[in-house]
Chains A and B, each alone.
Chain A
C-alpha cells in the first residue's frame, strides 16, 4: 500500500501542491489526471524523492519511504532520460545493476524485457538511433528491470502508437496481477478509464476528486437522465422538469424522441414521459471519465 498524505510544496510564492493525499493498494492501478501544471509531476517526483516537499508524508507498506525503499521502486520521469550513446541492452542492464542486481540477473531480466517490449531487433543499437516510441519502450524497460515493488510512471503513454499502447497496458497489467501497485499520469482519459482501478483528479495543486472509477461515476451519475419515448405528441418535452441537455426526434414512421436532461425531480419526469407516450428507456446516463473530468475541473 502506497500512502501519500497531505503533501505540500511551494515554488517561491506559487503553491504547487496543497494537501495532496492519495493511496494505492497492492495490485491496483492508479490513474492520475489533471490539467497541465496541476501538480501531477510534482507529486510523483516527491514520491520518488527526486524533489523534497514542504510538508506531508509518503509511506510504503506502513513505513516512511527512504532511499533504500525507493531503490526498489520503478520510475519513469516526465522528461525521458537515457544515455544517447549507450546500446539498448547495455543500458537496461546497467540500470538493473545500479538497482543492486547481479550482472547475470540484470542481463537476463533485460533480455526478457527487450523481447516482451518488441525491441529484439534494436537491442544492439545506440539509443539515440531509435525512434521516440522505441526510446520510450527502453525507458519503460529501465523502470521495470529490477522487478520493482511499486511503479511510478509519468505520462508513460504519451507519444505511443495504438499497438505500443496495448503492449504497455499489457505489461502494466502483468505487474498489477503480481500485486505491484502502479501509479501513472495521463491525459488520455479513455485509457485511464479502461485501465485504472482508481483515479485521482488534481486541479491547481488540490485533489478535487478521487476513488474508483465506479465511485466517481456514482457521484456524478445522478445528474443526467436519458429518456427514450416513442409515439408522443410534439412539445411534450416542454413539460419535463429540469434542464434539457440534448433532444432528438426521428422522423421515421413512428415518432421516437431521445432526451437527456438534468432533472429537477426524476419521478415527476417519469410520470411526464409515461403520459406522453411509450417509455422505451428511462435511466441515469453513465458519464465517461472525460465528462466527469470536465465537470469537476470546470
Chain B
C-alpha cells in the first residue's frame, strides 16, 4: 500500500506542478466563476431612469410607479422634460434610458424587454383612463376597474425558476464530468505509454508490482481530477450565491454535487482502467489516439446521451440508460439534478456501475500486466489471452 501511495504522490507532484495543470485550474476557476455570475451580470439594470414629457406625464409616472411596486428588484426614477427636444437630448446623453413623449417612446436603440412591457402597460392604462373619462365615466370608478391583480402562478413541478436552475446545473454537470473524465483518463493513458515507451517500466517493475504501479497512477491522477471537480463546484456555487444570480439554491443542490462526485469516482474507475489497459498495448504516444478511439467514443456517447437526458429526464430510454453502465455514470447524475429519481433506481444504477468498474479494473489490470513489458509492435488482445500467452 505504501508503494501505491508513493506512486500516487509522484503523479500528483509531477503532473500537479506543470504549468498546464496550474493555469488550467486557474482558468477553469475563473471561467466557472464568471459563468455562474453571468445571469446577474447580463441581467441588465433593474433600476431604470425614464424621461417624461407631454400633457400626461404625471399620470404616466403614477401608472409606472404602480407597476414597479408590483415587482421585486426593480426601481424607477423619473425626469420631467418641457419638450420633445429636451427629452431626446436626455436620451442621447444617457441621462435616461427611454423617454415617453406623448404617444412616442424615445430611446437610443431597442428598449429593454422589461422596461418596454412596463411602458406599454402604463401607456395603455393612462390612455384608456383618459378615453373613458372623455366618454363621461366617473374617473374614480374607471381607476377602480383598472385594478387587475396579476395571475398567480401555480406550478406543479416547483417554481419555474428552480426548474431552470436545475436544468442549467444538470447541463453544466454533464459537461464538467465529461471534460474531467476525458482529461484525466487521457493523462492515465499517456502516463502508461510514457513509462512503457521509455522503458522506465522495466526498472519500475523490478521494484514494484504492475497492479501497484497502475493503482498508484490512477489514484494520483484521480485525486487531481477530484480536486478540479471540487474547485469547480465550490467556485461555481459560491459565485452564483455571492452575485445573487441564483437567489436561492434549489433544494438538494448539495446532494446533487455530492452525487456528482460519487459518479465521477465510479466513472473514473471504469474509464481509467479501460484507457490504461488499451494504452499498455502500444509503445508510442503517436499510436495512442488511434487505439483509444473506441473508448473515447463510448465516453462521448455517454456525454451526448447525458446532455439530451437533461431535457427528457422522464423518457423511458433516459430511465433505462441512467441505470445501464457506463452510460449511467453521466445520465444518472444529470437525471437526479433535474428531477427526483426514485431511490431504488439510483441504488441499482450505482450497484451496477460498481460491478462494471470492478470488472473493467480486473480485466484492465490483467491486460496491463501482460502487455506493459511487451514493447515494439502493438500487442493484440488475442495474443494476451490466447492459449500461447
Contacts and interface: CB of A to CB of B under 8 A. Distances in A.
Given A85-B14, A97-B6, A71 B202 contact: no
Nearest to A48: B206
Nearest to B6: A97
A232 to B, nearest CB: 61
Main secondary structure on chain A at its contact with chain B? loop
Given A97-B6, A98-B6, A73 B14 contact: no
Contacts of B207: 70-71, 95, 98-100
Contacts of B373: 50-51
Nearest to B212: A98
A83 B200 contact: yes
B198 interface: yes
Contact of B18 (A71, A81, A85): A85
A51 B203 CA distance: 12
Nearest to B198: A81
A70 B206 contact: yes
A70 B205 CA distance: 10
B269 interface: no
Contact of B202 (A81, A86, A94, A98): A81
Contacts of A99: 207
B202 A50 contact: yes
Contact of B10 (A50, A73, A94, A142): A94
B108 interface: no
Interface in B194-214: 194-195, 198-209
B3 interface: yes
B200 A75 contact: no
A79 interface: yes
Contacts of A80: 198-199
B5 to A, nearest CB: 10
B44 to A, nearest CB: 48
Contacts of B10: 86, 94
A48 B202 contact: yes
A145 B208 CA distance: 15
Nearest to B200: A81
A77 interface: yes
Contacts of A49: 205-206
Nearest to A12: B388
Contacts of B201: 81
A31 B353 CA distance: 55
B199 A73 contact: no
Interface centre among B3, B204, B205, B206 (most CB of A within 10 A): B206
Given A50-B373, A67-B209, A81-B198, A95 B14 contact: no
A5 interface: no
Interface string B1-19: 0010011001000100010
Contacts of A142: 203
Contacts of A67: 209
A279 interface: no
A276 to B, nearest CB: 61
B266 to A, nearest CB: 29
7 contacts: A48-B206, A49-B206, A50-B202, A81-B198, A82-B200, A83-B198, A99-B207
10 interchain residue pairs of minimum CB distance: A81-B200, A81-B199, A77-B202, A98-B207, A79-B199, A81-B198, A99-B207, A50-B202, A70-B206, A75-B206
Interface of A: 45, 48-51, 67, 70-71, 73, 75-86, 94-95, 97-100, 142-143
